[in-house]
Amino acid sequence: MSSGEVIKRAKYKTSVKDPGTPGVLKMTEQKFLFNPNDPSSVTKLDVEFAHIKGHKHTKEGSNKPPWLNLTHDQGGSYIFEFQSFADLHVYREFVGNALAKSGEAAKAASTAKVTSSTKVASEKSAVSFPDEQLSTAEMELRMNLLREDSELQKLHKQFVIGGVLTESEFWATRKKLLDVDNRGKLKQRVGFKSTMILDTKPMADGRTNKVTFNLTPEIKYQIFVLKPAVHQAFLNLVPSKMTEKDFWTKYFRAEYLHSTKNAITVAAEAAEDEELAIFLKEDNILAREARRKIRRVDPTLDMEADLGDDYTHLPDHGIFRDGTKEISETQHEQYMRTLSQDLNRQGAVVLEGRTVDVDLEDPRTVAEALVRSRQELDGDKTQERLDRLSRMTDIEDLREPLDHPFAPLCIKDPRDYFDAQQANALKTLDDARNKMEQTKRNLSIDEAYGSLRDSISKIKTMGLSDPIVKPEVALSVLNGLTQNISSSKFQLGKNSRESILDGLPNTTKHELMHHWMSIQELLRHFWSSYPITTTSLHTKVSRLKDAMSQTYRQLEEIKESVQSDFRHKVSLLVRPMHQALDAAFQHYDADQQKRSSKGEPLNGFV
Amino acid sequence: MASAPSKLYADDVSLLMVLLDTNPLFWSTSSLPFSNFLSHVLSFLNSILLLNQLNQVAVIATGYNSCDYIFDSSVSTSRGLENGRMPALCSNLLQKLEEFVVRDEQLCKEGSENGLASSLLSGSLSMALCYIQKIFRSGPLHPQPRILCLQGSSDGPEQYVAIMNAIFSAQRSMVPIDSCYLGSNNSAFLQQASYITGGVYLKPQQPDGLFQYLSTVFATDLHSRTFLQLPKSVGVDFRASCFCHKKTIDMGYICSVCLSIFCKHHKKCSTCGN
């Protein structure tokens, strides 16, 4: 329909029962107008197609009159009755086109809306985006991830919106999560179906004596790949000598003749029609290739082959298609195909896969592309073989996903393994003491022995003291021991099923867990920024430090606010967090001291 | 007469080996005087012997230069110097102790005065274990042995290998090593010993009440310990000392064949030669 509008007589009905007001219905691409014949009537319509949801019509063969029903997107409908079904069809096509066009426009409008909304959202959620160009797909992925994982969302809100971390830093440690979506895309190279064309049977219409073959571009491609002789013929004959349609008709005629398995008729027909003979004869190209391959076997095959393996030309070989063993007449031999040949060829093609990635619509382009690919193959033999080898051994979608090769940062407290701090303190204390003692000793090793002996004689004379231990001292010792033993630190770990966290009230538990997650996140970024080499790292570290001190204070508050029953448990839980933060603070202070003691800043460090 | 003794033999008969630290350098600087210490210990030994008729006690003195047996309850002595102020066993013990100190001092004059003030714990541990082995071979009915170390001086890292060997052999013979440490800081060796052998490590907060500590924690026999909750140490210092310089180290190099520990990289292991 090249014209932009249609004008015809029609009757407008508001409902099915309505007799209808006669008038003229004019349709353009954007809207339709209805003007009744009677100028005094009120039913004038001027509706844009943007508001029309869909259209229905009555069928030609039914007893109903030709009606077209346009449904309004607000629920109503407009029914038009036409004078004939031909008019109806005209209008129907027009309405279809118009709706399609308006649908696209609507879609364009809605996508524009979507992108603007995401932009707005991103502006809201991001603090600054100067250094990153994100595609909308990535933005959506991040928002999805945040939506799904509430923990992640909380962390994100706390840090990114609170200004402690930038968006890029936050996601930098979560590359694995972002990568997940990529793996969803199929990296498979889809090859041919293994049945290829052998399973498509023609439809035979017994009444009209017609046999119908269905032909799609895919099937054409498969035929070209399977039968190089047909491919060659196509290139030669179409479009110079015959049209495509004729070509395929001849081809299918040949197929049909083959399927009758009557070798004599086949020979007769081949003698008559030269082009038909191409299809009926043995595929020369294939035969040549097979002979070549037999001479030089592909290393991926790894079998020993020689001319003696060419069994296809032995007599009495091959199961014929209908299962009967016909003793072939040699003159007609070339018009017969054997099932094994077909199967082998099919198998070879399927395994090779699609070598050409071309739009299948135009068989001419497909044919040419195939020729090109075959020519390339013929070129450099060894290179081709190497390519084939590499293609076969590298099956991408069966490979494991490429994981970023890193070990996750695990921040542990060295005091778990040794009483290292204590030992260090001890060492210094011991050294100090030993120095003291050494000075003492150098003077008095004899005196020491003397005093020892004196003590022994003293006790010998005095006897055992009475009482041995003063009662108050004994009592305090006993109390101390029992308190020590009964304190909860020894009760922990006794009952494996019960955990400390479960014993705490829910709010405290969630708070503590959240603090733990946020501390891990902060520490991860903190420790990864050392050694500080740029000013951006420096600012990042100071930001992190402020956030950490805030968390520290919050933890203290939690400890104090908790009931006395749970206080010890909570303090036990909070202690490793405090220790980790303390270690970080210590490192920060030490680093600051070093920096300030260096004096003049070097190279513009702040 | 095999049945009568077996009827008398209960689960809670114990043999207690007491390793007494007599390092003069420690005791001269300790807050608890040696005489008070001795009185606590002697009363404790008495009470042990009172708990069960068949209990046995043996005391080994850990000196600065040597170690020796001071007392053995299974050896009856006729020299009961009963002077009214203390039981006979005490006077015997003290006598022997004095003689030991004199001998130890004499040995000292020949040796040098360098190094830290540590006593020969490894020697006394080995002697205790030998005594226990003798008891094991004495017959089908024998008391259950355990070792109690009353130590004050700090660890000597040069004794690391010997002490660890002793600890492992104690572990193998299932002899728990209890330790009561009277020094200022914690002793890594004793902590490890108690941890590995399943004994109790205690550092008394109030040395004046030492007897109370001893009788509460260390007096129970092994069978009864299964029903009691004794103080557990919260952390153990697992540091080792290197084999070459005898320094305590946190991180070092290990020979992959014999697992000897070195502080510096060596091309050839001095223990096994690989």
Give the DSSP letter string of A228-293: HHHHHHHHHHTTTTS-HHHHHHHHHHHHHHHHHT-HHHHHHHHHH-HHHHHHHS--HHHHHHHHHH
Say which amino acid occupies B109. Answer: K
Residues of chain A contacting B105 with CB distance shorter than 8 Å:
446, 449
Residue with tokens 């829910």: A506
ipTM above 0.85, yes or no: no
Which pLDDT score, from 0 to 100, does residue A225 have?
A: 74
Residue from B20, B22, B28, B116 whose CB has the most chain A CBs within 10 Å, to mutate? B28
Query: How far is B98 from B83, CA to CA, in rounded Å?
Result: 18
Residues of chain B contacting A453 with CB distance shorter than 8 Å:
98, 101-102
Please indicate whether, in this complex, the C-beta atoms of A473 and B216 are within 8 angstroms of each other. Answer: no
Please indicate whether, in this complex, the C-beta atoms of A455 and B35 are within 8 angstroms of each other. Answer: yes
Q: Distance from first CA to last CA of chain B, Å, rounded?
A: 58
Q: Return the top range by mean pLDDT from A2-6, A38-42, A466-470, A496-500.
A: A466-470
Please indicate whether, in this complex, the C-beta atoms of B211 and A448 are within 8 angstroms of each other. Answer: no
**Are the C-beta atoms of residues A159 and A152 closer than 8 Å to each other?**
no
Whether the per-residue pLDDT at A113 is higher than 50: the answer is: no
**Are the C-beta atoms of residues A248 and A215 closer than 8 Å to each other?**
yes
Residues of chain B contacting A429 with CB distance shorter than 8 Å:
184-185
Q: How far is the alpha carbon of A521 from chain B, nearest alpha carbon, in Å?
A: 29
**Are the C-beta atoms of residues A10 and A82 closer than 8 Å to each other?**
yes
pLDDT digits (tens, 9 = 90+) for A292-334: 766 766 555 555 555 566 666 666 665 555 544 455 454 555 5
Query: How far is B135 from B138, CA to CA, in rounded Å?
Result: 5
Summary mean pLDDT of chain A? 69
pLDDT digits (tens, 9 = 90+) for A11-45: 787 777 777 777 887 877 777 788 877 776 667 77
Which pLDDT score, from 0 to 100, does residue A443 have?
A: 46
Which is it for strands A45-48 and B67-72: parallel, antiparallel or unpaired?
unpaired
Which pLDDT score, from 0 to 100, does residue A599 have?
A: 57
More confident site: A145 or A450: A450
Whether the per-residue pLDDT at A390 is higher than 80: the answer is: no
Which H or E run contains A142?
helix A136-148
Whether the per-residue pLDDT at A361 is higher than 80: the answer is: no
Q: Which residue of A430, A453, A465 is in closest CB contact with B101?
A: A453
Say which amino acid occupies A175. Answer: K
**Are the C-beta atoms of residues A160 and A122 closer than 8 Å to each other?**
no
Query: Minimal Cα distance from A425: which residue of B?
Result: B185
Portion of chain A with pLDDT greater than 70, in percent = 55
Q: Where are the alpha helices (DSSP H) in A380-488?
A: 381-393, 420-462, 471-486
Q: Give the angle B175-B178-B183 at the CA atoms, nearest 5°.
A: 145
**Are the C-beta atoms of residues A23 and A81 closer than 8 Å to each other?**
no
- Lowest-confidence pick of A173-187, A513-527, B160-174: A173-187
Query: How far is B142 from B132, CA to CA, in rounded Å?
Result: 10
Query: How far is A349 from A351, CA to CA, in rounded Å?
Result: 5
**Are the C-beta atoms of residues A244 and A238 closer than 8 Å to each other?**
yes
- Lowest-confidence pick of A166-180, A443-457, A517-531, A574-588: A166-180
Q: Return the top range by mean pLDDT from A118-127, A567-576, B28-37, B112-121.
A: B28-37
Query: How far is B67 from A123, CA to CA, in rounded Å?
Result: 81
Query: How far is B176 from B187, CA to CA, in rounded Å?
Result: 17
Residue from A431, A443, A449 whose CB has the most chain B CBs within 10 Å, to mutate? A449
Whether the per-residue pLDDT at A69 is higher than 90: the answer is: no
Query: How far is B68 from B56, CA to CA, in rounded Å?
Result: 18
Residues of chain B contacting A480 with CB distance shorter than 8 Å:
205-206
Please indicate whether, in this complex, the C-beta atoms of A464 and B186 are within 8 angstroms of each other. Answer: no
Beta bridge partners of A72: A52
Please indicate if any CB of chain A lies within 8 Å of the CB of B110: no
Residues of chain A contacting B186 with CB distance shorter than 8 Å:
419, 422, 426
Q: What are phi and psi of A134, to 5 degrees?
A: -105, 140
pLDDT per residue of chain B (274 residues) written in tens, 0 to 9: 445 555 556 778 899 999 999 998 888 888 889 999 999 999 999 999 999 888 999 999 999 889 999 999 888 665 555 566 677 778 888 889 999 999 988 887 655 555 457 889 999 999 999 999 999 998 888 889 999 999 998 888 888 889 999 999 999 999 999 999 998 888 888 999 999 999 999 999 889 899 999 999 999 989 888 888 888 776 677 777 777 777 777 778 888 888 888 888 888 887 777 7
Q: What is the 3-state secondary structure (H, E, C) of B151-218?
A: ECCCCCHHHHHHHHHHHHHHHHHCCCEEEEECCCCCCHHHHHHHHHHCCCEECCCCHHHHHHHHHHHH
Beta bridge partners of A9: A24
For chain B, positions 149-188, list CB contacts with chain A under 8 A.
Answer: 154, 184-186, 188
Residues of chain B contacting A469 with CB distance shorter than 8 Å:
40, 208-212
Please indicate whether, in this complex, the C-beta atoms of B33 and A452 are within 8 angstroms of each other. Answer: no
